[in-house]
Amino acid sequence: MRMWGGRFSGETDPLIAEATRSVDVDRVLAVDDIDGSIAHVGGLERAGLLTRDESRTLVEGLRALREEVRAGTFAWDPALEDVHLNLEAALTARLGPVAGKLHTGRSRNDQVALDLRLWLRRTIRELDADMVGLERALVDRAERDGEAILPGMTHVQPAQPVLLAHHLLAYVEMLERDRGRLADCARRADRSPLGAGALAGAGFALDREATAADLGFAGVTANSLDAVSDRDFAVEFLAAAALAMVHLSRLAEELVWWSNPAFGWVTLADAHATGSSMMPNKKNPDPCELVRARTARVAGHLSTMLGVLKGLPLAYQRDLQEDKGPLFDGAAVLGSSLRVMTAVMLDLAFDPGRMREAALRGHVTATSVADALVERGLPFRVAHHVAGRLVAEAERRGCRLDELDDDAFRAALGAEDGPEAHRLADEVGSGLAGELREAATLEAAVARPRVVGGTAPERVHDAIGAARKRLDHLAG
Ligand code: ARG
């Protein structure tokens, strides 16, 4: 059935109807569409295009539809192309000819652009809450278990000791930037396109500012051609979502490794792991693996969106209908991934003993020893060399740096050319060896980076406090 058949004499080929239909996807926009229509009715009434009675009838009809949509009782008709036509047909069936006045001064082109911006606003609000939820979980765990020391890694090799809290707070930083990016996207999308019409602007004296204010927008779009064809917000949203997923995938990847018994730093809750159909011993971190994989899906959506927009001439083109799948799926995947990682994080068990064991094995305090030598007057490059010799010697003896005897320190310093090294070799017996052994302990090494942003316990303590305070100030 054609909704506006005047120009046509034949029906749409069912094959074409099937290929162009979007209602299965865009029905997600139903409530936004109705909210937009209610605001448009207000605009039409203010412009004298609807009587007070007509306006009231339309608003009541639209509200009734909204209830049905919310209750899940609305009967979607796949024969009607999209969400807009479904709702318009339902309104017409109930109200009769007055429903035909709703589309005055409006096109589905500005209508769908409006719906998407309304959807985006509420979706970003929900995702922000999910991000805050994960931040809270990370800060909780940092407070509860954060004193554990683990071997921080670069190149996946043991590097320097860090506090578990410091590691967890790194993800809080990423999530804060993710929140900022979504907020930035929401801020730029905060303009109402309603009144842009099909492309040239509505042919009636609609007060666009007033309708925009009714819908809670900060203002209106300035160019009708741009308004109906702009999907920058979809790209910005998917870029922010893809990057947030990248962050989640890094956390997920670490939990996959850390839960491997060879690490044994983490045990996932039984409720957050799965078994194997064949191997009775298996406990698999599937939820983390799926978050990791779905990152590719959202990154793909970003690429799809850019591809859809590339080279599109002004103004609205039907290509733009293809924005919805990527947008809706990207948002759904990010939301569920955030909630999954929150649950996993809250219920897993850290094993500080296994972390410490790993840290003690990796000679991760060598930099601390080198730094201590610098404080005793060695140029850093020489100190680096001496500490390297000490690592080699500890490897040879199968011991830790803080277990080396005085002779080992004397030999490492004595093997250097510089006068400072020789002077220090003489001082090994009179306290220097003890100092270096102390610097080689995990506690001393983790306490050393006291710079802003470093892993020293007092810094991390402050960072937890600051994060906690910031999160406590957020509503919800
Ligand atoms: N389903 C369409 C979309 O999402 C609505 C706008 C259609 N406009 C049109 N002129 N065909 O883009």
- Is the Cα torsion angle 174, 177, 181, 187 positive or negative in sign? positive
Where are the CATH 1.10.40.30 domain residues in the chain? Answer: 366-440
Token pair of 149 as six digits = 């020391």
Q: How far is the CA of 198 from the centre of ligand 1 (A)?
A: 10
Q: Please report how the helices 108-145 and 164-188 are oriented relative to each other, as an axis angle in degrees rounded to 10.
A: 160
State if residue 367 touches ligand 1 by the CB under 6 angstroms criterion. no
The residue whose two tokens read 């690429």 is 303
The pLDDT of residue 2 is: 66
The per-residue DSSP string of 329-398 comes to: HHHHHHHHHHHHHHHHHHH-EE-HHHHHHHHHHTTTTHHHHHHHHHHTT--HHHHHHHHHHHHHHHHHHT
Are 435 and 408 in contact, with CB atoms under 8 Å apart?
no
Pocket of ligand 1 contains residue 318 by CB under 6 Å = yes
Given the CA of residue 324, which atom of ligand 1 is nearest to it? 4
* CA separation for the pair 407, 412 (Å, rounded): 8
In a 10 Å sphere around its CB, with 0-12 CB exposed, 13-18 middle and 19+ buried, how is residue 166 labelled?
A: buried
462 within 8 A of 451, measured Cβ to Cβ: no
CATH 1.20.200.10 spans which residues of the chain?
Answer: 119-151+163-200+212-352
469 burial level (CB within 10 Å; 0-12, 13-18, 19+): exposed
369: closest CA among 223, 137, 160? 160
pLDDT, residue 228, reads 98
* Range(s) of the chain covered by CATH 1.10.275.10: 14-105
The CATH class of 119-151+163-200+212-352 is mainly alpha
- Give the per-residue pLDDT at 418: 86
If the chain, 476 residues long, is cut into consecutive pieces of 10 residues, what is the mean pLDDT of each piece? Answer: 78 94 98 98 98 98 98 97 97 98 98 98 98 98 98 97 98 98 98 98 98 98 98 98 99 98 96 92 96 98 98 98 98 98 98 98 97 97 97 98 98 93 93 97 98 98 98 87
- Ligand 1 center to residue 11 CA distance, Å? 19
Position 476 scores a pLDDT of 66
Of 249, 272, 276, 430, the active-site residue reads 276
Q: What is the pLDDT of residue 475?
A: 75
Whether residue 330 contacts residue 238, with contact meaning beta carbons closer than 8 Å, is answered with yes
Distance (Å, whole) CA 79 – CA 90? 13
pLDDT of residue 423: 94
Q: Show the tokens assigned to 43.
A: 């605009």
Q: Name the β-bridge partners of 267.
A: 349
Q: Are 364 and 159 in contact (CB under 8 A)?
A: yes
pTM value is: 0.96
pLDDT value of position 393: 98
Pairing of strands 191-192, 219-220: parallel
User: Ligand 1 centroid to 105 CA: how many Å?
Assistant: 16
Q: Are 378 and 420 in contact (CB under 8 A)?
A: yes
Question: What CATH code would you report for 366-440?
Answer: 1.10.40.30
Residue whose pair of structure tokens reads 């929150």 in the numeric block: 342
- For the question of residue 430 being annotated catalytic, the response is no
Its CATH class, for the domain covering 14-105, is mainly alpha
- Residue corresponding to tokens 């949203």: 237
Residue 47 φ/ψ, nearest 5 degrees: -85, 5
DSSP secondary structure, 151-197, as one string: EEEETTEEEEEEEHHHHHHHHHHHHHHHHHHHHHHHHHT-EE-TT-T
Supply 449's token pair: 């980076």
CA of 184 to the centre of ligand 1 (A): 27
- Say if residues 391 and 400 touch (Cβ distance below 8 Å): no
220 DSSP assignment: E
Bridge partners of 64, per DSSP, are none
Q: Report in angstroms the alpha-carbon separations of 199 from 131, 219, 226.
A: 37, 19, 8
Number of residues that this document lists for the chain: 476
Tokens of 297: 């899906």
Torsion, Cα 344 350 356 361, to 10 degrees, reads -50
The two structure tokens encoding residue 298: 């959202």
Nearest CA to ligand 1 atom 4: 321
Give CA separation, 76 vs 28, 111, 161, in Å.
Answer: 12, 19, 59
Whole-angstrom Cα distance, residue 368 to residue 161? 10
- Residues 312, 321: contact at Cβ < 8 Å? no
Is residue 272 annotated as a catalytic residue, yes or no?
Answer: no
Which residue has tokens 């959506």?
Answer: 301
Secondary structure element (H or E) that encloses residue 210, with its range:
helix 208-214
For residue 108, which atom of ligand 1 is closest to its CA?
6
Q: What spacing in Å lies between the alpha carbon of 357 and ligand 1's midpoint? A: 61
Which residue in 155, 277, 430, 473 is the catalytic one? Answer: 155
- 308 Cβ inside 6 Å of ligand 1: no
Give the type of residue at 196. Answer: A
How far apart CA 381 and CA 400 sit, in angstroms, is: 22
**Residue 286 CB neighbours (<10 A):** 14
What is the pLDDT, as a whole number, of residue 382? Answer: 96
User: What pLDDT score was predicted for residue 122?
Assistant: 98
Which pLDDT score is estimated for 5? 73
